[in-house]
Amino acid sequence: MSTSAAVIKADAVEQAAYDVMVKAGIEIPDDYLGGIQAMADTEEGDLSAFVLRAMLENYEAAKQDRRAMCADTGVPRFYVKYGNEAGVEGGPVAVEHRIRRATARATHEVPLRPNRVHPLSRRDNDNNVGINAPEIEYSFEPDADWVDITTVHKGGLFGTDYRMLFPADGIDGIKRFYLDTLVAFGKRGLACQPAIVGIGLGGSKDTSVVLGKQAACLRTVGDRNPDPEIAALELELKEIGNSIGMGAMGFVGSSMVVDCHIEVGYTHTGGMPMSVHCFCLSSRRATARLFPDGRIEYRTDPQWFTPYLRRDSVDWAPGRMEAAE
């Protein structure tokens, strides 16, 4: 791909960021909806089944009325993936500015709940914008001239935990901490399950927390990690979660985990840090891809974890590596 002279307009960035805020807030993604429908059909706990049916009605009501599906906006945040050949008018500073403007505007116009306050003074700007808010995380993609903007609205209080495990704890340690988290936060439905459970394994402590959140929020129901060993563990953990005996709102049932996603990072040779995250009954995510010719395409699969992002080698030359095999 040649370097294009055309740059992505800053206005388009704001439009895309605004649109994904609105879509995420109102439209439940099809992959998650399908997962909840399947659970509603098989759930045998009467209370848990009632909750799932109420949620299915709620998704419909949100779309019909064009109102947010959940009043808890969570802590809205953004994920930006830059094509290596992409250019944006005004540069990355303009991108961040436009994202902040779109966040404030969408908060007022949808409306979304202005959740973000100063942690000590509790000052609320009433627009979900403030110091370090919304967070913006970045990744890059080779041979691409587009920019992807994803937003995720995930609750911020319950359903997430972190623990430093060690190699001696092994897979058993992973299963145990996973169960600890789901049982503890599943009671009374604090985790707003059934959830897409994301697990971050490895990296540094903070990396494991970031990876786990991305695994929960940036992959779709049914998606499997390309590493067969990790994919098998994802399916096993999903099964274990649904055999706890707990369903929606912590009522007796089987609907706990819509899917389980694991992401890994190389870690300290002596450790195995792990995080668990529950993306809730209002799993809100939406992505826009901006092209240099002005087009904006919308989707619900962020396509965040690309082969490039998960690379294991010093050099990135996928074509050559395949040829050598």
Residues 55-84 that bind other proteins (CB under 8 A): 55, 57-59, 61-62, 65, 67-73
Residue carrying the six token digits 């947010």: 68
Whichever of 124 and 143 has its CB closer to other proteins, that residue is 124
Site for other proteins in 258-297 (CB under 8 A): 280-282
The residue range among 10-18, 53-61, 87-95, 199-207 that interacts with other proteins, by the rule CB under 8 A, is 53-61
The answer to whether residue 248 forms part of the interface with other proteins (CB under 8 A) is yes
The answer to whether residue 199 forms part of the interface with other proteins (CB under 8 A) is no
Residue from 50, 205, 227, 231 in contact with other proteins (CB under 8 A): 50
Q: Pattern 203-242, binding to other proteins, x per CB under 8 A?
A: -------------------------------------x--
Site for other proteins in 2-31 (CB under 8 A): none
Residue from 11, 30, 135, 172 in contact with other proteins (CB under 8 A): 172
Q: State how far the alpha carbon of 204 is from the alpha carbons of 146, 219, 231, 267, 271, in Å.
A: 30, 22, 22, 6, 9
Whichever of 124 and 206 has its CB closer to other proteins, that residue is 124
Q: Which of 17, 106, 125, 42 is nearest to 68 (CA)?
A: 106
Q: Pattern 92-131, binding to other proteins, x per CB under 8 A?
A: ---------------xxxxxxxxx-x----x-x-x-----
**In the complex, least distance from residue 15 CB atom to other proteins, rounded to whole angstroms:** 20
Whichever of 51 and 147 has its CB closer to other proteins, that residue is 51
> Which strands form 136-141's sheet, in the order they lie side by side?
136-141, 77-83, 147-153, 284-290, 296-299
Burial 168-186 (b: 16+ CB within 10 A, else e): ebeeebbeebbbebbbebb
The residue range among 12-20, 93-101, 137-145, 184-192 that interacts with other proteins, by the rule CB under 8 A, is 184-192
List, in order, residues 6 or more apart from 230 with CB less than 8 Å away. 262, 264
Residue type, 126: D
Half-sphere exposure of 315 (CA within 13 A, CB side): 5
Q: State how far the alpha carbon of 233 is from the alpha carbons of 178, 212, 237, in Å.
A: 12, 15, 6
Whichever of 219 and 284 has its CB closer to other proteins, that residue is 284
Site for other proteins in 148-167 (CB under 8 A): 157-158, 163-166
The answer to whether residue 195 forms part of the interface with other proteins (CB under 8 A) is no
- How many residues touch other proteins under the rule CB under 8 A: the total is 71
What does the DSSP assignment read for 51-112? HHHHHHHHHHHHHHHT--S-S-----EEEEEEETT--BTTHHHHHHHHHHHHHHHHHHHTT-
Whichever of 150 and 255 has its CB closer to other proteins, that residue is 255
**Contact indicator for 207, 216 with CB cutoff of 8 Å:** no
